[in-house]
Amino acid sequence: MILHHENHSLKDLHTFGLDVKARYYLVYHNEEELKELLNGTLIRQHSLLLMGGGSNLLFLKDYDGVVLHSAIDGIQVAEEDNEQVLLKVGAGVEWDALVAWSVEKGYGGIENLSYIPGDVGAAPVQNIGAYGVEFQDVFVRAEGYFVDSALPFSLNKKECAFGYRDSIFKKELKGKVVVTQVWIRLSKQPRFLLDYGPVRSAVEDLGSINLHNIRKVIVAIRCSKLPDPKEAGNAGSFFKNPVVPLAFFQQLQAIHPDVPHYELAGGMEIKIPAGWLIEQAGWKGRQVGRAAVHQKQALVLVNLGGATGKEIYALAESIQRDVQQKYGILLEPEVNVLA
């Protein structure tokens, strides 16, 4: 049954925990309910926001439109052989619940993406990634419906045009489609990726390299760096790690020899940790009103309680200005800002 709410508080439905409301908040549990909503007048007459776990949103004010939330559940094994398994997963499944399920089954490929907040339907939109793994590495296709016509679509990996924290769903198809099912391919004989940060040494300290230990380490690392949204509202990493041309990086490195970096595109592009830039600019642990930069991880902006979205956004803009002035790099928000 479709759940229909008006002037509904979103405070407990997004991880920043801001006291904002949606004019309409609708929850659907299957594709038939979704098509009924898409063919109805409410969505056609108002602006539309697709909301999963609310882990990547910053509201600057109440949302005067329709917030649509998927509760489509289910993890199905569609195909399998001795080496691989193809999964069909409902968009409303919690991402980390899928990772935990996969690790328990012995299916490898997403263990490095443990403890990332949000729902499965948002994974292809954001092309989530962590510790050397991106969602596109396991992605097969996404299915769903066009908002304006309620007609179905199916997009493969190439058609999704994945990039760093990017996809067609954030560009040409932004706000135009609703993802209902995501298909991913995992391995029964996984190849472990451990050479990112302290992962390898931490896993080896547990005695053996396996899916369970990798997940355990990733969860521990993320918990040590990221505050619990229930205690300090946040959206995880607020900014993307900037990717710059090699020539620009070489100029930067000549001035700042200690800048950490990771090579991309065969060494022609360089990724620089945004958290390092923010910390070097003097923002780590700083508080402005009820908004602050987290004391342990400079990449995370937090709501200390009672902050408004505008306060958090003003803090983000101040950080952007300082980093750009010092390093010539404009940090790009990873969070979706709703003005």
Tell me if residue 159 is catalytic: no
Instruction: Provide CB contacts within 8 A for 273, sequence distance 6+.
Output: 241, 260, 299
Cα three-residue angle 21-297-202, rounded to 5 degrees: 120
Helices (H) and strands (E) in the chain, counts: 10, 20
**Distances 295 to 140, 234, 286, 335, 337 between C-alpha atoms, Å:** 38, 13, 8, 19, 23
Instruction: Give yes or no: 334 in active site.
Output: yes
DSSP 242: P
Helices (H), 74-165: 95-105, 123-126, 157-160
Secondary structure (3-state) at 305: coil
CA pair distance 130, 240, nearest whole angstrom: 12
- Which residue is catalytic, options 70, 102, 114, 237? 237
Neighbours of 288 (CB within 10 A): 14
Burial class (CB in 10 A: 0-12, 13-18, 19+), 51: buried
Q: Which residue in the list 165, 167, 222, 311 is annotated as catalytic?
A: 165
Q: Which two tokens stand for residue 21?
A: 């409301």
Rounded (10°) CA dihedral 27, 32, 37, 39: 170
Calpha distance 74→283 (Å, rounded): 42
Nearest-angstrom CA–CA distance, 201 and 211:
15
Residue 165 is among the residues annotated as catalytic for this protein:
yes
HSE at residue 229, side-chain half, CA atoms within 13 A, is: 21
* Catalytic residue positions, numbered: 165, 237, 334
